Structure 1
Amino acid sequence: MAKRAIFEDVSEARRPAAQGGVIDAARRGNRAAVRIWLWVLFALVVVMIAVGGLTRLTDSGLSITEWAPLSGAIPPLSEADWQAEFDAYRAIPEYQLQNRGMSMSEFQFIYWWEWGHRQLGRVIGLVWALGFLGLLVTKSIPPGWTGRLLALGALGGLQGAIGWWMVASGLTGTMLDVASYRLATHLGLAFVILSLIAWYVLSMSRPEGALLQARRDRDATLMSWGTVLVAGVFLQVLIGALVAGIDAGRGYTDWPLMAGGFTPPGMWELSPWWRNLFENDGTVQFIHRVSGYVLFAVIIVAWWRARRSAYVATRGAFLAVLAVAVLQMVIGIVTVMYSAPWQLAILHQFGAVVLICLAVRARHRAKYPLPQSVRA
């Protein structure tokens, strides 16, 4: 027999292949494919929020008086179809009390806005359904994510139902517009869906193992501040929807005072008192102003606390929230001073979209700080 080498048993040739750990073994699915799909949904929801805002600003939301999720995808195709839609609109309070005498061409203008808004909702639902089923069939969804992605679709379906619940509030009685609190619910859920997608995109942009590693270095205090920022921006969005619902942004055009005083006149003139919180344009605009000041102060404090973070990306994320908050406040003031023209109003709404997404990113950076060099 040939003699064996002293170190033969530990030679490279006989060394077994390295085995991955538990985290590596769990790396299944196609995170890139899921991320692309989420980005498409994110862009569509942003467009949906803008179209919804323009639908409200053009007083188009009540032009379609029935909810037909399937057949409603087909617009009027003949003169008789248009006449039937117009007759249905002429039976509701908005036409009888505000738009009596409207021509067919004027009705068609507001009809197309609302039809486009609903059609875009159908497109979002279709993109979600096809994407989810495709990812599910190809086993591209990472472990633990199926329920979260399915919840997005459920929230989208709920949003459609709430949209009709909102529209139905303006079809009877003496209502000239939809109920402002229902409008706030509808817009609020849209921002919830958008924020969830933003969080999921951020998480899908990094491997699961990297997230688990980064979570060990999370800043619990900054995470709490991030939660406060997201909640504060969301609350301000809801109050802004109440302002839009009753056109409260056009009643008092001076700033920083309101009709020459700190508070508007007749702030509590409606009875019972709680109606002023939803129906009194001066009260609603005052609350929106004050809550904006409070939110801005909170953002400054959160940014100041984030300056002590050891991570450059985390500090930058909170600084971005502060920068956009300054811009958003300036746009809001100018919008009020010019009596809320639709161009400034929709810009202000888009600013809210950017702000809440940046707040979500700031919280994500606090929970999962990005790796950096020792020099950084």
Structure 2
Amino acid sequence: MSTAETQNLHPDLQQGHSSDISASHSAVVLWLYLCCAMILVMAVIGAITRLTESGLSIMEWAPLSGAIPPLSQTEWERLFSLYKTIPEYQQINRGMELEEFKSIFWWEYFHRLWGRLIGLVFAVPLAVFWIRQQLPGWIKPHLLFLLALGGLQGAIGWYMVASGFADRTDVSQYRLTLHLMMAVGIYCYIFWLALKLGANSTTGASSNALGSWSAILVAAILLTMTSGAFVAGLNAGLIYNTFPLMEGQMIPPSYSDGSPWFINSFENIAAVQFHHRVLATATGLLAIGLGLLVLLKGRSRKVRIAGVLVALASVGQVKLGIMTLLLVVPVGLAAAHQAGALIFLTTALYLLFQLKYSR
């Protein structure tokens, strides 16, 4: 690469992007993609944990000792007795046997264990790459910040779970949304860093209409995912199980029952589901339109492929959402719908990157 070409690189991409240096970073790129894959799996495990009403089964936050599961009958009895003190048991699961408690315990335990594993898979290779000087200077502060965000996410997870111990039979939809969207934000952050580090044939960031629309699509997906988190937190998918109308009406009659009016978007089940439907439909149409436009006007093969992927992902995700609703939220489909949202977001981020940084 000539000096002139190097100077034209985006500042974050200048260091370490000759072909030789880029090859030495391939292990780092693969590590970042592995972390993304593990977060995606974590989202699916979290969805199953929520859908099986397992999230309140562990009443203690022990970041280190909590990695060891119950090893004796006495310990199982102690944990079960703690669970019996909360409203979820007293109002919903009263009379549950120990074996039934174990079935929900293991989902929450695996959810927390997978979170610990993500932390190890991120922190240990980070230290190794750092010591071996395999990390370009520009990425180091980003990775340290991500390490701190991972610790914060664990604390937010406990903050969410604790909301279900006293006055309600489930966790707060506000805290659940915060926990999910924090995970999504970390996922996006890592994925974008992996794209930048792996892009050994890039020019400076460019501004164009397609790139702007792609950024709007990413924002729309994030907004739709946020609304979906409120749907999950309120179990809003268990009502109005028809599509496109909501029991024969475009807007449900109880849409504006909440007071003050703005609270409907966060606490009125009918309004929350309606908003998610509208946002999901609009986002899907935007993705299909943008994908077709990119296919026609994309300046490179990578860009056109990215456009096709976005359109296909949007169609698949909308279909999953409708099926999940019509079948009254079966666990498998609902978990696939959450995974589909992250996959859809991934294709949109990839398209945005290709439009802004590829030749």
Runs (4 or more) in structure 1 with deviation over 4 Å come to 18-26
Aligned to 2:323: 334
* C-alpha distance in 1 between matches for 2:195 and 2:2: 29
1:221-277 per-position Cα deviation (integer Å, ceiling 9, x unaligned): 222222111111111111111111111111011111101111112122233333322
Shift of 1:149: 1.5
Q: Is the 8 A contact 2:288 2:314 kept in 1?
A: no
Aligned to 2:183: 190
Residue identity matched to 2:300: Y
Q: Is the 8 A contact 2:292 2:311 kept in 1?
A: no
The answer to whether 1:149 aligns with 2:138 is: no
Tell me how many residue pairs correspond in the alignment: 347
Which is further off, 110-119 or 308-317?
308-317
Q: Is the 8 A contact 1:227 1:363 kept in 2?
A: yes
Aligned to 2:123: 129
1:183-242 per-position Cα deviation (integer Å, ceiling 9, x unaligned): 1111111111111222122222232xx32xx236x3532222221111111111111111
* C-alpha distance in 2 between matches for 1:360 and 1:131: 25
Q: Please, which runs of 5 or more residues in structure 1 have no aligned partner?
A: 1-17, 371-376
* C-alpha distance in 1 between matches for 2:110 and 2:63: 13
Change (3 A) 1:265 1:22: closer
For 2:192, which of 191, 199, 202 is the aligned residue?
A: 199
Shift of 1:129: 1.0
Change (3 A) 1:204 1:284: same
Shift of 1:308: 1.9
Aligned to 1:99: 93
Q: Is the 8 A contact 2:265 2:272 kept in 1?
A: yes
Residue identity matched to 1:231: A
Aligned to 1:89: 83
For 1:116, which of 95, 110, 113 is the aligned residue?
A: 110
1:112-154 per-position Cα deviation (integer Å, ceiling 9, x unaligned): 1101100111111111110111011000001211011122212
Shift of 1:68: 1.1
Q: Please, which runs of 5 or more residues in structure 2 have no aligned partner?
A: 8-13
Shift of 1:26: 4.6
Q: How does 1:1-376 map to 2 (within 5 A)?
A: 23=6, 26-27=15-16, 30-173=24-167, 175-207=168-200, 210-211=201-202, 214-215=203-204, 218-306=206-294, 307-370=296-359
Which secondary structure state, in structure 2, belongs to the residue aligned with residue 331 of structure 1? helix
Backbone CA RMSD of aligned residues: 2.0
Change (3 A) 1:102 1:202: same
* C-alpha distance in 2 between matches for 1:323 and 1:19: 39
Q: Is the 8 A contact 1:331 1:344 kept in 2?
A: yes
Residue identity matched to 2:169: L
Q: Is the 8 A contact 1:188 1:238 kept in 2?
A: yes
TM-score relative to the length of structure 2: 0.91
Q: Is the 8 A contact 1:259 1:265 kept in 2?
A: no
Q: Is the 8 A contact 2:32 2:190 kept in 1?
A: yes
Change (3 A) 1:269 1:130: same
Change (3 A) 1:87 1:144: same
Residue identity matched to 2:225: V
Shift of 1:316: 2.1
Higher helix share: 2
* CA radius of gyration, larger in: 1
